[in-house]
Every structure is written in C-alpha cells, then in structure tokens.
C-alpha cells in the first residue's frame, strides 16, 4: 500500500541554522509533491510545490528537493527563526488521482 | 492567494445533537471541496470530496449518513455531523483546489468537542 513517512520526532535546532526535514514514500509514483506548514489549531498553509521532473525549487529561505529514484523529498529552511516553529506536512499527488495524500508531519522547533 | 473560510472555528455540543460546519471559498469558485479530519498529532485524513451540484464521494470507512455533505453553490460546502458522539470530537478542515493551480487552499479548521 502507499506510504508516506515523515520523521515523527520533533526537530530541534538553534536559530540561524538550516533545518532539513525529510519526506519518504513507497509504492507511489507522484506527479508532484507539496509542502505545507501547519500551526497548532490551524489549517495547513501551502508553501512549495515541486513536480516529478524538477530536482529543486526555491522560495526565499525555503528549498525543496525531489529525488524520484530515492523516493524522497528534502525540505530546507535556511537561517531559521523561532517564527518558523510549526509542523511541516508533505503531500503527494499522483497515480491518476488529483487528491493529495498527506504525511503525518514533522514538528520543527527553533530555539532562540 | 486564494482564501477559504470556515465557520464556526470551534463548537462544543452535547452527545446526540447535530453540528453543521460551513466552508466557503471567498475569492474564487470551487466546484470541488475536500473535507478532512485530523486527530492530535495525526495526519490529515480525507473524509469526502464535495462536488457542487452532485453527491459527495466518501472515503472508505466514512459513514455518509453520519457526515452529511452539501455543496449547494460554487462557494459553499457544508458538513453536518449528525447525532454526534464523543468519538467524533476532532479537528475538521476543508480545502479547495483552484482551477489555476495544483495546490489546495485550506480553511482554518473547526474544533468539534462532543460532551
């Protein structure tokens, strides 16, 4: 069955460092992958989308890579700030469906 | 970006009552909307796909008679939790794709607590 794995343990980093979050998937051929940010008690907010034929996407301090051979996406936040603390979800779309499937999310905590 | 609103943001009700949650696309038309449920520290679980002018499509294991969905206009979908029980307590979130992007725009969510 299709499976999306995100590190369930919280990632704790110091302000100013680069945070790297991982999204692995199995039994899936995604057409594209998305990253969302979710704050407690709020709905997810879209951050970046990367397609299967793209290796890397950037937006300000954010960078996403997509390796369809490794079946993995990495999400980087450079020069992290305490305000970046949130849960980050990856979502895959493909296999003939336009409805994304979400991972459980990884909590990021940036310490001042 | 596109804006999706939900109402109410939180609701507390007694067991056995029904609760209606509204999802509105404020600045775009949404022929399709999605309803998700999220338990603490869990992933978003798709409950159903709401289609304007037709019946909703429910995911396996979701009781369509318990979670009534109505998508009466291009900007409004409603989810009614009928005869709510404590196990229905959860965070309900709607989303809508736009016609010009591949991404979803989510509402802020509704926290339902059934006593």
Determine the residue of chain A that is closest to B46 in CA distance. A101
> What is the average per-residue pLDDT within A37-66?
94
Helix (H) or strand (E) holding B34: strand B32-38
Distance CA A107, CA B68 (A): 33
Determine the residue of chain A that is closest to B42 in CA distance. A104
Asked if B43 lies within 8 A of A104 by C-beta distance, the reply is: yes
Q: Are B61 and B42 in contact (CB under 8 A)?
A: no
Say if A94 is an interface residue toward chain B (CB within 8 Å).
no
How close, in Å, is residue A70 to chain B by CA atoms?
23
Q: Is the pLDDT of residue B99 over 70?
A: no
Task: Report how far apart the first and last C-alpha atoms of chain B are (Å, whole number).
Answer: 37
pLDDT band of residue A30 (cuts 50, 70, 90) is confident
- In percent, the amount of chain A with pLDDT more than 90 equals 79
> What is the average per-residue pLDDT within B31-57?
91
Asked if B109 lies within 8 A of A99 by C-beta distance, the reply is: no
Say if B54 is an interface residue toward chain A (CB within 8 Å).
no
Determine the residue of chain A that is closest to B1 in CA distance. A46
State residue A27's pLDDT score: 83
Distance CA B23, CA B5 (A): 6
> What is the average per-residue pLDDT within B38-57?
91
State residue A7's pLDDT score: 84
Say if B95 is an interface residue toward chain A (CB within 8 Å).
yes
Angle (CA) B11-B49-B22 rounded to 5° is 30
Q: For all residues of chain A together, what is the average pLDDT?
A: 92
């Amino acid at each position: 069955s299709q499976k999306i794995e995100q590190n369930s343990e919280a990632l704790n980093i110091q302000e100013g460092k680069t945070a790297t979050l991982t999204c692995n998937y199995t039994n899936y051929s995604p057409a594209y992958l998305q990253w969302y940010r979710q704050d407690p008690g709020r709905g997810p907010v879209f951050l970046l989308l990367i397609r299967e034929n793209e290796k890397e996407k950037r937006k300000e301090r954010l960078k996403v890579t997509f390796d369809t051979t490794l079946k993995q996406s990495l999400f980087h936040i450079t020069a992290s700030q305490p305000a970046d603390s949130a849960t980050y979800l990856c979502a895959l779309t493909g296999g003939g469906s336009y409805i994304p499937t979400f991972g459980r999310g990884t909590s990021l905590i940036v310490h001042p | 970006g596109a804006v999706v609103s939900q109402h109410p943001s939180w609701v507390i009700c007694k067991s056995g009552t029904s609760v209606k949650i509204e999802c509105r696309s404020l600045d775009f038309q949404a022929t399709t909307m999605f309803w998700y449920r999220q338990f603490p520290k869990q992933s978003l679980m798709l409950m159903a796909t709401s289609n304007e002018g037709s019946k909703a499509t429910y995911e396996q294991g979701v009781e369509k008679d318990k979670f009534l969905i109505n998508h009466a206009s291009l900007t409004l979908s409603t989810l009614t939790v009928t005869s709510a029980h404590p196990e229905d307590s959860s965070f309900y979130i709607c989303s809508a794709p736009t016609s010009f992007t591949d991404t979803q725009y989510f509402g802020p969510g509704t926290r339902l607590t059934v006593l």
